[in-house]
């Protein structure tokens, strides 16, 4: 791992000595946990702990915005206490400055992870740079997005994934988490994916603001040494010393002749996620004994994939749905399955096709405002398009702006979907459901 004296060849063929001594950086790391610990933590704290435990993650930048602020506070407090070695926290003047700062730092040293967290308008402010970063090849930028209703009027500080879904085309790998432990585990795996030499794409893990960012539960914190051993299996020293000419799309200006080539390369790297994500997830599970990264979380799902009604959603509320299914199955006399979306971008359509091939109806619960059928609905519908027997797609909106999804709401949405089973239905208009009532129908 010592790259102090190594020589790197640039794309142009010039040889430069590598400056960053990774051995020294690693040696300067102070562990947060010498052995496995169990504590109570909220989602932001869990995300901060995961970042602080990575020896490569030495540079944090941020600008406070609810509900992600506690991530920044926790990181800053721990770093200021001297408990984390020589890490550095930088409070910038705005979110776009944060993204730019990270781009500069990450480009200058591709072996180190540069991290931030933001929400809603903060992510929107970063847009000018996130789209460049998405194409840059800078997989060492880690942006934790704490979901919050995005900048559409009226302002709402509660969590829905409209912010992250509005950035699906920025070129980032987007992963949705639910629950404190999954947040922690996902962030530990994210750089393994983004910094993998065949992917080199920044990662945006995300979780629901308030519902998960501020709710505390049991968190198992793994020993730093074990985290490092796991990550070191997937992240090797970057081939290049870090920037700038020729080894990144960031900062290049090209004509149309070359533009499409960049985009094809970007797509190619992004699509490697489909092969590598399950491998990283399996290694994580083998190492830590908990589920690693997956395309979808099968919360309540039969091994043979045979269901009458499949429910697809994301975030903590889909866990509520899973808890109701046993009762609903016996009440309705139907087989019902629940899938939780994990990988949002690139969208794992083949996985959805495989899981939904036997379903008669698919209820898709969208929690982000959308003028069409819903972001998740569009992707899942496309995944079902090539199935020999296409299920009826039933699109519902619920929980927008972080609204509660009560048992009655879930039952109403299931009533709506079950009513289509066994009938010839051409199109079911999307509905908005709240507290067991249909508030709006297209």
Partner 1 sequence: MITQTQQRKPIEYRNELNPVWCTGCGDYGVLKSFTRAFAKLGLPNERIAIISGIGCSSRLPGYCLTYGFNTIHGRSLPIATGLKTARSDLTVIACGGDGDAFAIGAGHIPHAIRRNPDITYFVMDNSCYGLTKGQASPTTSHEFKEMKGLIGIDEVPINPVLFVLSCGAGFIARTQSGNMAHMADMLTQAIQYPGFAFIHCLSVCVTYQGREIQEVLDQKCHPLPEDYNPSDQTQAFNIARKDPWALGVIYRRGLEATEEEPNAQ
Residues at the interface with partner 1 (CB under 8 A): 14, 16, 19-21, 24-25, 27-28, 58-59, 61, 85-88, 90, 92-94, 96-98, 100-109, 112, 114, 128-129, 132, 242-245, 250-253
Query: Facing residues of 17 across strands?
Result: 7
Q: Let me know: does 316 contact 213? Beta carbons within 8 Å.
A: no
**Distance (Å, whole) CA 349 – CA 127:** 26
CB of 91 to partner 1, least distance (A): 10
Task: Considering the complex, state which of residue 4 and residue 408 has its C-beta at the smaller distance from partner 1.
Answer: 4
- β-partners of residue 39 are 219
Q: Min. distance of Cβ 438 from partner 1 in angstroms? A: 45
Closest CB to partner 1 among residues 59, 400: 59
Question: For partner 1, which is the closer residue by CB, 118 or 367?
Answer: 118
CA distance 438 to 41: 36
Question: Which lies closer to partner 1 via its Cβ, residue 28 or residue 39?
Answer: 28
- Coil, helix or strand for 173? strand
Q: Which is nearer to partner 1, 57 or 373 (CB)?
A: 57
| Contact call for residues 127 and 36 (beta carbons, < 8 A) | no
**Gap between the Cα atoms of 55 and 30, Å rounded:** 8
Q: How far is the CB of 94 from partner 1 (least distance, A)?
A: 7
Q: How far is the CB of 278 from partner 1 (least distance, A)?
A: 32
Reduced to 3 states (helix: H, G, I; strand: E, B; else coil), residue 154 is coil
Of 133 and 417, CB closest to partner 1: 133
CA 86 to chain CA mean position, Å: 27
Task: Name residue, tokens 């946990």.
Answer: 33
Bridge partners of 432, per DSSP, are 397, 440
CB of 30 to partner 1, least distance (A): 11
DSSP-derived letter for residue 31 is -
Residue 242 C-beta: closest distance to partner 1, Å: 7
Closest by CA to 202, choosing from 139, 247, 264, is: 139
Hey, is 329 helix, strand or coil? helix
Q: Is 43 helix (H, G, I), strand (E, B) or coil?
A: helix
Smallest gap from residue 301 Cβ to partner 1 (A): 44
Q: Which is nearer to partner 1, 58 or 177 (CB)?
A: 58
Interior CA angle at 25 toward 21 and 31, to 5°?
Answer: 160
How far apart, in whole angstroms, are the C-alpha atoms of residue 373 and residue 269? 29
Q: Which phi-psi region, left, alpha or beta, contains residue 166 (left: φ > 0; alpha: ψ -120 to 50)? A: alpha
> Min. distance of Cβ 162 from partner 1 in angstroms?
24
Q: How far is the CB of 8 from partner 1 (least distance, A)?
A: 10
Between the alpha carbon of residue 202 and those of residues 63, 124, 143, 272, the distances in Å are: 19, 17, 8, 13
Task: Closer to partner 1 by CB, 93 or 169: give it.
Answer: 93
Distance CA 149, CA 130 (A): 18
Nearer to partner 1, 98 or 309 (CB): 98
Q: CB 25 → partner 1: shortest distance, Å?
A: 5
Nearer to partner 1, 108 or 378 (CB): 108
């Amino acid at each position: 791992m010592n790259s102090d004296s190594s020589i790197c060849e640039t794309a142009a063929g010039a040889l430069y000595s590598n400056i960053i001594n990774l051995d020294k950086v690693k040696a300067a790391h102070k562990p947060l946990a010498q052995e496995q610990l169990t504590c109570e933590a909220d989602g932001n704290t869990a995300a901060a702990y995961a970042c602080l435990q990575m020896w490569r993650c030495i540079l944090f930048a941020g600008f406070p915005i609810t509900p992600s602020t506690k991530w920044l506070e926790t990181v800053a407090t721990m770093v200021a206490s001297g408990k984390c070695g020589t890490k550095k926290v930088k409070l910038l003047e705005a979110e776009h400055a944060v993204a730019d700062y990270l781009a500069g730092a990450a480009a200058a040293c591709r072996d180190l992870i540069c991290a931030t967290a933001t929400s809603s308008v903060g992510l929107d402010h970063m847009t000018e740079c996130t789209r460049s970063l998405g194409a840059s090849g800078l997989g060492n930028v880690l942006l934790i997005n704490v979901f919050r209703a995005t900048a559409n009027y009226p302002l709402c500080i509660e969590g829905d994934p409209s912010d992250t879904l509005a950035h699906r085309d920025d070129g980032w790998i987007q992963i949705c988490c639910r629950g404190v432990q999954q947040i922690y585990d996902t962030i530990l795996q994210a750089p393994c994916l983004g910094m993998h030499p065949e992917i080199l794409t920044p990662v945006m893990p995300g979780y629901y603001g308030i519902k998960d960012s501020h709710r505390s539960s049991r968190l198992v914190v793994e020993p730093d040494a074990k985290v490092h051993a796991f990550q070191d299996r997937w992240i090797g020293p970057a081939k290049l010393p870090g920037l700038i000419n020729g080894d990144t799309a960031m900062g290049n200006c090209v004509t149309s002749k070359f533009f499409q080539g960049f985009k094809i390369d970007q797509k190619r790297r992004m699509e490697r996620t489909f092969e590598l994500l399950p491998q990283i997830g399996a290694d994580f599970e083998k190492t830590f004994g908990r589920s690693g990264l997956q395309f979808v979380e099968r919360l309540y799902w039969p091994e043979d994939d045979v269901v009458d009604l499949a429910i697809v959603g994301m975030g903590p509320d889909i866990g509520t749905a899973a808890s109701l299914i046993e009762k609903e199955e016996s009440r309705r006399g139907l087989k019902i399955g629940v899938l939780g979306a994990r990988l949002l971008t690139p969208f794992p359509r083949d996985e959805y096709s495989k899981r939904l091939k036997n379903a008669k109806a698919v209820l898709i619960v969208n929690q982000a405002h959308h003028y069409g059928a819903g972001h998740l609905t569009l992707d899942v519908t496309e995944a079902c398009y090539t199935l020999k027997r296409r299920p009826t797609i039933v699109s519902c909106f619920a929980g927008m702006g972080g609204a509660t999804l009560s048992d009655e709401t879930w039952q109403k949405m299931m009533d709506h979907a079950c009513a289509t089973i066994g009938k010839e239905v051409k199109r079911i208009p999307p509905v908005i459901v709240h507290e067991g009532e249909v508030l709006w129908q297209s």
